[in-house]
Structure 1
């Protein structure tokens, strides 16, 4: 869970350092003080979208650093291991910076990682719920994802097996669609490929031929100079009174005196070796010189061949090897196009086999989903009853998408239905739920999903109590407090009924120094909580009546939390 967060030059936050405990934390303050900005920063450090708009005015970069404590078996540990990272002493330090140039850097325990890697880890660290998440409840296509997440590991494994077959099925469908494309286009394609195949085949290219031709062209084009220089070199080595003869004379002179001074024997051996090497070099130069001839006919043939190769390179590849590889790919495509009827029959047979497998997998998925749906319905109704929505009916409806209408999720279309009042029929959640009802339904769902395997240890609620008051607000407060017994909860709220139930209370406020405005965070004492609750109850002016009311709320909240 989250232990510390440090924020610098982020939006209107100049510098803030906050330490978190276990349990239920609330953040309160005047509208516009920057409460939600803290959660924006936390979203950023766990892989959320970055923007230079986050950088404080006149600053060069924004920085957010968060320290998490990972329990044994935490799902983030598995992800870290897969990425080649580790938690140090059960702690994870994440740092994210955004520079004014737009560059974003991410580090986990000091090691640079990509944003994609950070997202993989961050998904398992915190879950942030706000008005955006409320909107997900209003998106019917999201409902099946909620149900599948609730279905647990067995449903997850079945869905993975289905998707492997589904991907193969989609690949074959795409191949069939290409085969069934406009016959005129296919004919044009065959004509073009046939021309390319024949042009490459007619050239009779050989692997590495272009390099050999370049070398031969170099010899033929400079034959006269090669012959002249080779002859001059040969003469220098083997001509009269030249290299070899001079060295040989030195050998003879030393041979006469070595018997009188053995120390010269080493020098003699070196010169003898040099003589043999020069002699051999001269012989090779002689053979090379004698083998050279100027052949203008062959030069013309090589130049013509090079022009042909260059023309093919412009069309099919940068080297002869690439041209030949392209030619093979053309042959393969032509083979498929010219025998597309046989290929089509094979693909159709494979498609039909996959449809049978997909249907079986999809039916098993539906069975598992219906079982999960029945349990989800029961639990949501229990949770809603706790949230002052007693008598509300919640249902997961299955609308078949059709036997052959396969989707990445199967053949089911799932939609959440609700009847807020006894006697009313079930109707789509997206059409009848009010803002306050959505807040409570979301909290009910989260209370259930917090116990699902792989859920994050830190839950964040950004004004999820919007649109509620009175008994409903009290019910939400008690539900969040109960939820906080099993995980860490951070909540931005404007409701004193919610704030009084917190274990830890932070006040967020703006401070203006000169022409600069910045957000500050203060951990409230009991006296500070009383004043803040009184402000929330009575507005700007705090009276003895509102203070006494705040004290009474805190006293009753403590009793309620002990009962929980």
Structure 2
């Protein structure tokens, strides 16, 4: 249940806090006052896409916050637990979302940051919104299967899960098979290409790390004269004219001679002795290294030739010899797999036949359950329509299949299948006696569509397990007895859950448990939307305005007062009956 909604700096709303009640909460106001803005703001708390256009002019960010009370065992509690969001035993959940001028969206559940994807998973369990355009979805038969499946969720869940898993495997296998068949010519071309590439790499007889070793050899050969000169100079400094080793030996002898007079010289004697022998060994190594150094132009030419070969392969197959060898291994594996193309093709064909047979069984099972649910849904909608002053209307939920030469065989006939099964679902209606059942798009009026949609939403309310339902002008296109019937239907739904309803009909507003008036106020500087919980007398004035326009007369006021009184009496009489009935 939505206890409180706070909106700040959102469109033309500066700051509004609405404390909703259990039962039927009615929101009314003149056109353009901002009723739809409140629905847009609430939509942000349910995971709808945000926009910088929502931020009030002159402000840095828009803020929307909702306080929800969740009863024990509510599905939203388990979802929050999965998110790691703590909800206390009182079931209070605060959902807050900010939209900045930079388009950044910050979402918190009980103060904990969450992602938009997480909010979208949670939102449908908190509130269900039925907009004024939902009725037009009835004109699109492709949407009807979703409503049928929602109605039969408990019966269909297991079969749908089994079918979905099989269909995913079937679709992937079919796609793999189609790709293989389609690309057979390309496959042959690729085999030729990869074979050439592999042969070129193998003929080079590359060794791991070879390019690094060759580059080192080239660097050494190219600077051989400098290397030899440097070694000779170092050797002469130690053992030649500069007599570096002799001076070090002289220093060592002097320290050894006076060591007997001062024990503190012992560490220095050891150090200079160690240094002398190390330098002596180094000089010997330099002489031996210099003897081995030899410039070989033929060797350098061979290194350059080999590096040219490797560089040519690098331009085609990788940045290093190791990468080239990895690529060679990968195309070797691919070629081996391609060599078994026919075997793979036959395996996929056999697998597809097996999956198609299994899928046909599951599709038929799913279709049979849908047909059973379709009959129940049609009967339930007919009953709801009777209560909405369409007493003699007949309603049917047609479940049929579409032939498809490329589909799967079900009971000897090739059928079209997709992720939802093999069924096509369409709602049919006969509004008047003697008329045949026909698709809604061909026969239903705007007012009839509104009532049919309300009937469906009423039936699905229990299945959805949502505590709060929002109806945004679902009474469009109706008046008179039909309007009164819709009003009573909404009041009946509100007996078991919280209902928020935006309406232009005084018949609906007269049955409110809480009536909020939305007003747009303007001055020279700004436009502000305010929301006020109406008192009994204020309700009379608002209903009088809805009945007769801006000018409230004594006649319209008396009519409004009578409507409110009759509404209370009607609800009091019917509440006991409704309490024993399913919505």
> Given the two structures, how large is their TM-score scaled by the length of structure 1?
0.89
Q: Distance in 1 between matches of 2:149 and 2:237?
A: 89
The worse-fitting range, judged by mean Cα deviation, of 215-224 and 430-439 is 215-224
In structure 2, relative to structure 1, the CA distance for the partners of 1:189 and 1:544 (3 Å cut) is: same
* Superposition deviation, residue 230 in structure 1: 5.0
Q: Distance in 2 between matches of 1:306 and 1:344?
A: 43
Q: Distance in 2 between matches of 1:549 and 1:421?
A: 33
* Superposition deviation, residue 272 in structure 1: 6.2
* Superposition deviation, residue 275 in structure 1: 6.3
Q: Distance in 1 between matches of 2:553 and 2:340?
A: 89
| 2:61 aligned residue | 61
In structure 2, relative to structure 1, the CA distance for the partners of 1:73 and 1:251 (3 Å cut) is: farther
- Structure 2 residue 492 is the aligned partner of structure 1 residue 491: no
| 2:30 aligned residue | 30
C-alpha contact (below 8 Å) 2:401/2:416 kept by paired residues: no
Q: Distance in 1 between matches of 2:113 and 2:286?
A: 60
Q: Distance in 2 between matches of 1:287 and 1:158?
A: 85
C-alpha contact (below 8 Å) 1:88/1:109 kept by paired residues: no
* Superposition deviation, residue 521 in structure 1: 1.2
Query: Per the alignment, in what secondary structure is the counterpart of residue 3 of structure 1?
Result: strand
Q: Distance in 2 between matches of 1:246 and 1:85?
A: 79
The worse-fitting range, judged by mean Cα deviation, of 229-238 and 459-468 is 229-238
* Superposition deviation, residue 492 in structure 1: 0.8
What does residue range 181-200 of structure 1 map to in structure 2 within 5 Å? 181=182, 184-200=185-201
The worse-fitting range, judged by mean Cα deviation, of 11-20 and 261-270 is 261-270
| 1:80 aligned residue | 80
What does residue range 90-239 of structure 1 map to in structure 2 within 5 Å? 90-181=91-182, 184-230=185-231, 232=233
| 1:414 aligned residue | 425
In structure 2, relative to structure 1, the CA distance for the partners of 1:57 and 1:249 (3 Å cut) is: same
Query: Per the alignment, in what secondary structure is the counterpart of residue 450 of structure 1?
Result: helix
In structure 2, relative to structure 1, the CA distance for the partners of 1:155 and 1:269 (3 Å cut) is: farther
Q: Deviations over 1:324-370 (max 9, x none)?
A: 34334433443444443222111101100110111111111112212
Q: Deviations over 1:511-543 (max 9, x none)?
A: 112132121111212222221111111111111
C-alpha contact (below 8 Å) 2:370/2:399 kept by paired residues: no
C-alpha contact (below 8 Å) 2:236/2:242 kept by paired residues: no
- Structure 2 residue 564 is the aligned partner of structure 1 residue 554: yes
In structure 2, relative to structure 1, the CA distance for the partners of 1:283 and 1:341 (3 Å cut) is: same
* Superposition deviation, residue 28 in structure 1: 0.4
> Given the two structures, how large is their TM-score scaled by the length of structure 2?
0.87
- Listed as ranges, the gaps of 5+ residues in structure 1 are none
Query: Per the alignment, in what secondary structure is the counterpart of residue 131 of structure 1?
Result: coil
| 2:456 aligned residue | 445
- Listed as ranges, the gaps of 5+ residues in structure 2 are 404-408, 410-414, 576-583
Query: Per the alignment, in what secondary structure is the counterpart of residue 49 of structure 1?
Result: coil
The worse-fitting range, judged by mean Cα deviation, of 297-306 and 467-476 is 297-306
The worse-fitting range, judged by mean Cα deviation, of 356-365 and 295-304 is 295-304
From 436, 441, 444, give the equivalent of 1:430.
441
What does residue range 264-413 of structure 1 map to in structure 2 within 5 Å? 292-402=293-403, 403=409, 404-413=415-424
Q: Distance in 1 between matches of 2:244 and 2:335?
A: 65
Q: Distance in 2 between matches of 1:243 and 1:77?
A: 85
* Superposition deviation, residue 510 in structure 1: 0.6
C-alpha contact (below 8 Å) 2:428/2:439 kept by paired residues: yes
Q: Distance in 2 between matches of 1:74 and 1:166?
A: 32
Query: Per the alignment, in what secondary structure is the counterpart of residue 486 of structure 1?
Result: coil
Across the two proteins, how many residue pairs are aligned to each other?
A: 563
C-alpha contact (below 8 Å) 2:144/2:426 kept by paired residues: yes
| 1:11 aligned residue | 11
Q: Distance in 2 between matches of 1:292 and 1:112?
A: 69
Query: Per the alignment, in what secondary structure is the counterpart of residue 124 of structure 1?
Result: helix
Q: Deviations over 1:59-81 (max 9, x none)?
A: 34333233333333332333334
Q: Distance in 1 between matches of 2:323 and 2:233?
A: 42
C-alpha contact (below 8 Å) 2:87/2:110 kept by paired residues: yes
Q: Deviations over 1:433-463 (max 9, x none)?
A: 222122222222122212115x332211111
